[in-house]
Amino acid sequence: MKGLFVRGSLLTLRQANILIVILVLIAFYGVHNAWVEREQGYVKARQYAYQQTLLAHQLNAIDFVVRRLNGYVVYSADYPDQIEGVGVRGSWPLADWQRMLEQIQQNLWLTPEFVNWQRDLEHPNQWYGDIFWRIHRPDVLKPNHDWLPLSSDASPRTPVLLLSVVHDKRSAALLRVDGEEHWVSEGTWLPALSATIEGIQEQSILLRYGTGELKVLSLHGVKHPLWSKQQEG
């Protein structure tokens, strides 16, 4: 009986040690989870504060476009208080355009919906620009875009081919410009050509160069594209 009692005591002590280890592990797991949740809360709070800061910068940039550049904004049809896009129309020298566009891009996440450039015939050193951008929520990455009417690499002899035309809810065309392929739609500005996509039809597109010159570009292999005079006008 004595040996059984000792053996039973040893077994109870072993169980107690196992129980203590389990309780320590549970406590550690609970503390670890609480620490992780707290850190995740800090990260979310910092991300929210960062997003709010970026949104404030966007609002300031939009105010700059509207007040200083005589720009305009377009509001969402579903959410009347939400700005969907911003646009600028005006005539300035290229140096002024470059400074303004760089400043706009500093605090705005934009996708151009329409870009049109024409030389100002009354002021030969100026360009008339009509640009409308769709505004996106701030993100980490924000590539710089070249929307100026003249590119340092632009040349009227830059090789360009029309590879494909797609007509769905919105017409689009696939171009190969100097070896690089680009999907474009009406209003797209191509710095390498210093031209805007003026229109897209079944087998051709209409390019308007910064000089005002119009050029019909047909699908590769099509010799005589038909172009609607009504659309060209």
Domains, in order of start, for the chain: 1-146 (no CATH), 160-232 (2.30.30.830)
Contacts (Cβ under 8 Å, ≥6 apart) of 103:
61, 64
CB-CB neighbours of 85 under 10 Å: 19
pLDDT the model gives residue 4: 41
CB neighbour list of residue 35: distance below 8 Å, 6 or more residues apart? none
**Residue 80: what pLDDT?**
81
Instruction: Pick the more confident residue, 172 or 139.
Output: 172
pLDDT category, 141, cuts 50, 70, 90?
low
Average pLDDT over residues 132-158: 71
Two tokens, residue 23: 């309780």
Q: What is the pLDDT of residue 223?
A: 55
DSSP class of 219 = B
Task: Assess contact for 194 and 154: CB atoms under 8 A.
Answer: yes
Query: What average pLDDT does range 107-123 have in this prediction?
Result: 82
pLDDT of residue 88: 92
- pTM for the whole thing? 0.53
Per-residue pLDDT tens digits for 40-77: 777 777 766 666 676 777 777 788 788 877 888 888 88
Pick the most confident of 118-132, 168-182, 202-216. 168-182
| Tens-digit pLDDT profile for residues 8-49 | 455 576 777 777 778 778 877 777 777 777 777 777 777 666
Phi and psi angles of residue 65, each rounded to the nearest 5 degrees, phi first: -65, -45
102-to-92, 143, 191, 192, 200 alpha-carbon distances in Å: 15, 12, 16, 19, 30
In this predicted structure, what is the pLDDT of residue 11?
52
Give the separation between CA 144 and CA 125, rounded to whole angstroms: 25
Other beta carbons within 10 Å of 225: 16
Residues with Cβ within 8 Å of residue 116, at least 6 apart in sequence:
129, 130, 131, 187, 189, 196, 208
Instruction: Using pLDDT thresholds of 50, 70 and 90, give the confidence band for residue 166.
Output: very high
